[in-house]
Amino acid sequence: MDISLTPSEVKETESIFPGENWFCYWRTSAALWESKLAAISKAAGPLFVPIYWGFHSENAETFDFGEQKPEADLARLFRAIQNSGHEAVWLLPLTPTPFQPNGGLPSFIARNPALDAHGMTQAYLDSDGSVHKMHSFYDPRVYQAFRKWVWQLGQVLTTKDISVPVRGMRGYWVGPQTAHSYLEDHSQAFTAGFTRFLKQQKLPVRLSDAGHEVPNLPAPEEKIQTARYRKLIADLYNQTAAESLTTHWTGEQDYGFLGGAPQDIFPRSSDIWSHQSELMQDLWTQQDWSLLPSSVLIPSRVKRGVIGKFLKDHLTPSFVRASLQQQVAEEGEAGNFAPLVFFDVFWDEDLAQDAPAALESLGLLGHMQRDYHGCWRWRGRFDFTRETEDDNNSRLKFFFGTQMDRTRFQQVLRLFLNGQKVVLDRSGLEPVLEKKLQLFMVENELAPQDINFLTKVTMIRLGEGMLLLHDGDKLKDQPLAKKIAFWEHVTKYMQLKHLIVRGDEPLFYTWKTRATGTFELKYDEIRRLSIYNPSPHRMKCQVQGSKQFAFLKVVDPMQAQAKSTPMGVDIEVMAGGWLSLDFGHFEG
C-alpha cells in the first residue's frame, strides 16, 4: 500500500515522463501513448522504457501482455513508439527498483522485505511522494518467478515481432564517496542463502540464539564472502535475462537514483530539506562511479535551478549514447563535449565499499579530489577486451596487488605491452606473481628505473607503454601531506596537463573536453569548466593560469561572473548560480 508523506498535486506528464526521457507506460492510458510520445522532442536523445514486472503478472502462472489490461500490451507500445519516430531503449530491472511498488516485484511474490544493516525495512520515496518498500531478491521463490517472467517476456518479444533493444538495469544509491547496489540486503532470506553458499565452500557456520544458521567467520573474511555471494546472485539474474532475451539483449547499464538512498526518505519528506546541495553531492559521486544519473524519484519542482542545469549540461544525447556504447560523439561538433578523465581506478566491484578508505590511506584519493576532481573514475569491472578496444590509452590505470589473480595479472601486463599507462601497487601481490613480474622484465629485456621517494618506485617504459610499480604499504604510514606530494610527483612525471581550481568549499564543478572546430585549429582540444553553486551563499574561486591554456570565453552565466587576471581567472558565483568557461589547450 502506498503511503504519501508529502501529498501534492502531480501533473500526469511528470509521472509518465519523470525525467531523462523515461517513459513509464503503465501510468497512463494506452489510448494516450501516441499523443504523449509525440509531445516529446526526439532531439533529446533515446527514449528509455523501464519494464514493470509487477504490472504484467498477478500470480505465478499467468502473465498479461494486453490480454487483460491494454496498458500491458507491449506490442501496442512498440508500435506507438515506432509511430512517434523515437529511438527507444527498453530497461529490464535486474535489481529492486525504488520507483516501482514492491521494488518492481509482483504482489504475490513480495513476501520477504529487504532489510538494511540496522534491520529496518528498506523503503524509498518516489516523485509522487509515495513510499515503495523493497523485497529481497535472495528469496529462491523470487528467482524462480523471475526465470518464468523473463522467459515469457522473451517469447512475447519474439512471437509478436517486437524488435527492441533491451538492457539490464542495475540500480544504485550513493553515500559519501561510495555506491551501493539495491541488491544489498540483510534479511533472513539473504542470510539463509549466504549460509548455504558458505557450506558449499566448506566455510564455518553456527546456530544463532534464534536457532538460525549464521556465518561463523572473522569480520574481514565475512565481508569478502558476503560480497562474493552478492555478486554470484547478481550475475545469476543477469545471465538468466541474457539467455531468455537472446537477440534483444544488449548488455547492462548501471543507474544511480538521485534521492534514492535509504536515509533520504525522511529528509525528502521535510519542507526544510536542503536538496540542492545534497543532490549535487550525489551527482558528483555518481559521476565518479560511472553511474548514469536518473532523477525519476525527484519531483520536477526540486529539479529546477542548479540541479536541473547540471542534468541538462551533462546528460546530453551524445553522452547518453556513449554511455550505452551505441556510438561515440562525432568529432568537430562544438556541442559534443565528453567527460575529461585522467585516471581509471580498478577496484573489484564486490569489494567496492572498501575502495575509498583504501585509496584515502594511500593519499591518492586526497590528491585526485583536490587537483583532479571529477577527472577520475572507479572501475568495478575489468574487461580486457574493452580496455584494449576503447580509446582510453591516455588514461592512467590503477591496479592493486591485493586483487590480483594470475589471469588479471597477465592481462595488466599485456595492457602495458599494448602501449597503455599502468600504475600497480605491488603490496599484497602473491609471491608467485612477484616471480612472474621479474621473469616478465627479463624476457622482454626491460630496463627498470628505480627511484626512492617515501617508497621504492620502479618505472618501466616500452614504446608508448608505461608501468609504474610502488609499495602502497610503505605509503600508508606517511603523513598525508607527504603522501599527496608523492602522487603530485607521479602525475607530474606522467606530464598530465590540467588547470587547477582553488576556492571556497564545497565547490561543485566538472570538466569536459571536445575536439577543436574549424576555427580553433591552433588548439589541440577545447576544455569546458562548469561551476555550480547550490548553496545559499556566494562562492569565489580561481582557475590558476597556465602557459598551455588560453581562456576563451564565458558560457551561459547565471548570477555569476568571471574576470581574467595575470594569475588566472577569478570567478564569483552567487547563490543558485552557475557558469561555464572554455579554455583552449595546446602542447608546448
Name the residue with higher pLDDT: 588 or 445.
445
In this prediction, residues 92-117 reach a mean pLDDT of: 94
pLDDT at residue 352, as a whole number: 76
73 phi and psi, to 5 degrees?
Answer: -80, 95
Among the CATH numbers 3.30.70, 2.60.40, 3.30.200, 2.40.128, which is that of 501-585? Answer: 2.60.40
pLDDT at residue 334, as a whole number: 46
Q: What is the mean pLDDT of the chain?
A: 89
What CATH number does the domain located at 12-184+240-323 have?
A: 3.20.20
Going by pLDDT thresholds of 50, 70 and 90, the confidence category of residue 276 is confident
Distance CA 467, CA 448 (A): 9
Going by pLDDT thresholds of 50, 70 and 90, the confidence category of residue 274 is low
pTM of the model: 0.90
In this prediction, residues 566-577 reach a mean pLDDT of: 95
In this prediction, residues 246-261 reach a mean pLDDT of: 94
Q: Rounded to 5 degrees, what angle do the CA atoms 439, 442, 448 make?
A: 110
Closest CA to 26 of 84, 66, 72, 59: 72
Closest CA to 194 of 235, 151, 240, 225: 225
pLDDT at residue 328, as a whole number: 38
SS3 for 414?
helix
Percentage with pLDDT > 90 across the chain? 66
Query: Of the given ranges (25-34, 47-56, 262-271, 518-527), which has the lowest mean pLDDT?
Result: 262-271
Q: Is 103 in contact with 97 (CB distance < 8 Å)? A: yes
Q: Is the pLDDT of residue 164 over 70?
A: yes
pLDDT tens digits, residue range 314-356? 998 888 888 887 443 333 344 589 999 999 999 887 777 788 8
pLDDT tens digits, residue range 57-75? 988 889 999 999 999 999 9
Q: What nine digits make up the cell of 98?
A: 525504488
Going by pLDDT thresholds of 50, 70 and 90, the confidence category of residue 10 is very low
Distance of CA 488 to the CA centre of its chain: 27
pLDDT at residue 272, as a whole number: 67
pLDDT at residue 353, as a whole number: 77
- Domain 343-493 top-level CATH class: alpha beta
SS3 for 21?
coil
Q: Is the pLDDT of residue 551 over 90?
A: yes
pLDDT at residue 96, as a whole number: 96
* Fold agreement between 12-184+240-323 and 343-493: no
The dihedral sign for the CA sequence 518, 520, 524, 528: negative
Beta partners for 582? 528, 553
Q: Is 513 in contact with 519 (CB distance < 8 Å)? A: no
pLDDT at residue 330, as a whole number: 39
The terminus-to-terminus CA distance of the chain in angstroms comes to: 64
Query: Domain extents for the chain?
Result: 12-184+240-323, 343-493, 501-585
Query: Of the given ranges (73-77, 269-273, 517-521), which has the lowest mean pLDDT?
Result: 269-273
The dihedral sign for the CA sequence 94, 99, 100, 102: positive
β-bridge pairing 568-585 and 539-544? antiparallel
In this prediction, residues 259-282 reach a mean pLDDT of: 82
In this prediction, residues 263-270 reach a mean pLDDT of: 82
Q: What nine digits make up the cell of 395?
A: 588514461
pLDDT tens digits, residue range 454-494? 888 999 999 889 999 999 999 988 999 999 999 999 888 88
Q: Is the pLDDT of residue 390 over 70?
A: no
pLDDT tens digits, residue range 138-157? 999 999 999 999 999 999 99
Name the residue with higher pLDDT: 322 or 84.
84
Q: Is the pLDDT of residue 495 over 80?
A: yes
Name the residue with higher pLDDT: 388 or 282.
282
pLDDT at residue 128, as a whole number: 84
Grid cell 581550481 in the structure block, residue:
501
Q: Is the pLDDT of residue 25 over 60?
A: yes
pLDDT at residue 335, as a whole number: 57
Q: Is the pLDDT of residue 6 over 70?
A: no
pLDDT tens digits, residue range 166-204? 999 999 999 888 899 999 999 999 999 999 999 999 999
Going by pLDDT thresholds of 50, 70 and 90, the confidence category of residue 391 is low
Q: Is the pLDDT of residue 239 over 80?
A: yes
Name the residue with higher pLDDT: 45 or 49.
49
